[in-house]
Amino acid sequence: MKDIVYYYGRRGQDVQSHTAANIRQYGKYIKENIKEMAMHRKMALDALDKKLVYLIIEWKINYRLNKFQLEKNIQVPEFRSSKNRLPINY
């Protein structure tokens, strides 16, 4: 499509250049938001991995305590890590 500037004059050129500048600026915003989104996703996955590690450790400790209880026929209180109670901060 051919630009026919003489239909709209100087104002048409202003609108056209302003629109092109807006598109470039919005493109920059989109790239920045995608970078931030990737960073936040990585932080969330790291926090989830840490939480999962704590849960596995707690499970292993409780498994060993239960096994010990059965062998010795005694009551040992269940182990609960305080770190499992922390909320995941993003």
Query: Does 54 fall in a domain?
Result: yes
The answer to the question of residue 90 being in a domain is no
- For 47, the domain range is 5-85
> What is the per-residue pLDDT across 46-65, written as a single tens digit (0 to 9) for each?
888 888 888 888 888 878 77
| Cβ partners under 8 Å of residue 64, min gap 6 | none
Q: Which residue has the higher pLDDT, 25 or 45?
A: 25
pLDDT-above-70 percentage for the chain: 70
Q: Is 41 a member of any domain? A: yes
23, containing H or E segment: helix 9-72
Q: How many domains does the chain have?
A: 1
- Answering whether pTM is above 0.75, one says no
Tell me whether residue 77 is in a domain: yes
